Structure 1
């Protein structure tokens, strides 16, 4: 059951990102970031009482940076490509936490996949370098998000801590979003689509993952997480008409293989309990 919760989160998240990209033409990427985080924070605050501690502040800051840079990247490069590059963050963190040389082989394979992506984009043209750089920044924020989220989870703050962190992330992104989008941020059509994005990309996936992580081993979670680039490519093709080339799909396949391989290489420390370093990766997916 927990695995299906994670898979549901992955699919919901990427289709939410596809809907979010449709807002860029009206309110820009910063406006879409602020709207999505703001509405999602309000939703969570209604459901559960927000908790504020040092852990929520750190997680909120990483969520703001991660979502902000990812949406800016998404405004320049296809969804599947952006998520694939961003996935280098948690994969690289997994190798660093394991401190085993063979795990860096998986990171190298993922890097090869990203290089292959750079050969040809879905249109046959070169990737936008600024978009790639922004996706790499999002990858770094994703890695920090994993660490901050684990700390919040182990502190016993649960969904209340997530609600508090979401409010902080919304407060950090709202000023820039308002300055770029202005009154367009509050148009009924924009608010309606923003609410849908907040549900699909924040409220639903984060809630599903928190429930799943109560019983799911980190290795199983990692395998499901590795399917993010594939889900993003699918959502991009269906929702945005971003049909990737065969070369790009091969690059994404290399990254997925690296993610699955890295997850399956991690053995539990004792029956029924994931190793501590592996558990550091058992966190809600971002974006």
Structure 2
């Protein structure tokens, strides 16, 4: 008798909440698309400052901006941290800075689309390594084929830039694993904010050295600050809100589109055109990730 009475109530509740959830879901989807576009646009705008500040100077400013925003939002209680909390924060800060520096250095050499695609191998490897499914093994092979296409020998190949992209991928994978440790030991976003502050402090001498060696122009500084806001502050805050309204699986699928967004933004803003083979390689990495996520049961 209880089950019979509960069914109409559940149906009524679903009917009442579905219209409210639908606009929120649509807004969340739009926010995810905007977050990815903001991230890649920020990287492209930052690249415009490379002739003046170089990748090191742009990354230094980006770290300052990210730290400022996260410290304001999270307000970490740094004095309350014990050593078991500090050591993963210190490692996370080092990995965070190295990831951005190697990525931006790769962008300067091989372009935004290829650099982001190679960096994306980091989270893709983490996702596939934990699986024992044959389908995921096939996705790994497909991604490997894409990488081979992107890194194939040719006269114009910049292997140093590709190597930097792969180092960024390793850093992103380490960033994910360290974030899990930090998230378990420090509540909320306090760990991420502390790590960003550590990274900003580490880049302070480099930023001063770059400014003394190459006096920055107002335009270059504005581009670097915009990179920090668009690639760090906006995606972080947007993703924080988005994950409250969409499943993690849906979020992951949208993340997989970032290499394509990077290639398009690099073409539009930086004039970095890609050939058919490069697009095929990027597509293989994106499809491998999308298929793996879409077929995973949560």
What is the TM-score normalised by the length of structure 2? 0.82
Alpha carbons of structure 1 residues 51 and 23: separation in structure 2 relative to 1, 3 Å: farther
Shift of 1:58: 3.0
Name which of 99, 102, 109 aligns with 1:76.
Answer: 109
Q: d(CA) in 1 for partners of 2:133 and 2:142? A: 15
- Report the Cα offset of residue 156 of structure 1: 5.4
Q: Residues of 1 paired with 2:48 and 2:67: CA distance?
A: 21
Pairwise CA distance, 1:206: 1.1
1:57 aligns with 2:83: no
CA deviations over 1:179-212 (Å, ceiling 9, x no partner): 3443646543332222211110100001111222
State the aligned residue count. Answer: 265
Matches within 5 A, 1:1-287: 1=25, 2-52=28-78, 53-54=85-86, 55-119=88-152, 126-155=156-185, 157-182=187-212, 184=214, 187-268=217-298
Q: Which moved more, 1:211-220 or 1:223-232?
A: 211-220
CA distance in 2, matches of 1:158, 1:239: 36
Structure 1 Cα separation of the partners of residues 147 and 289 of structure 2: 13
Q: Higher mean Cα deviation, 36-45 or 130-139?
A: 36-45
> Any conservation in 2 of the 1:48–1:160 contact (CA below 8 Å)?
yes
- Offset of residue 83 of structure 1: 0.7
| Structure 1 residue 99, shift from structure 2 partner | 3.8
Query: Structure 1 residues 57 and 157 mapped into 2: Cα distance closer, same or farther (>3 Å)?
Result: farther
Residue pair 1:20, 1:32 contacting (<8 A) in 2 also: yes
TM-score w.r.t. the length of structure 1 is: 0.84
Contact persistence 1:27–1:180 (CA under 8 A): yes
Structure 1: unaligned runs, 5 residues or longer: 269-287
* More helix by percentage: 2
Superposed displacement of residue 256, structure 1: 0.8
Q: Deviations over 1:121-179 (max 9, x none)?
A: xxx85320000000000000001111122333344532333222211111222323433
Rg: which structure is higher? 2
Secondary structure of the 1:76 match is helix
Alpha-carbon distance in structure 1 between the residues aligned to 2:250 and 2:296: 10
CA distance in structure 1 between the aligned counterparts of 2:112 and 2:129, rounded to whole angstroms: 27
Contact 2:56 2:206 in 1 (8 A): yes
SS in structure 2 opposite 1:75? helix
Q: CA distance change for structure 1 residues 153 and 25 in 2, over 3 Å: closer, same or farther? A: same
1:13–1:125 Cα change, 3 Å:
farther
Kindly state the Cα deviation for residue 32 of structure 1 after the two structures are TM-superposed: 0.8
After TM superposition, the structure 1 stretch with the greater mean CA deviation from structure 2, 142-151 or 43-52, is 43-52
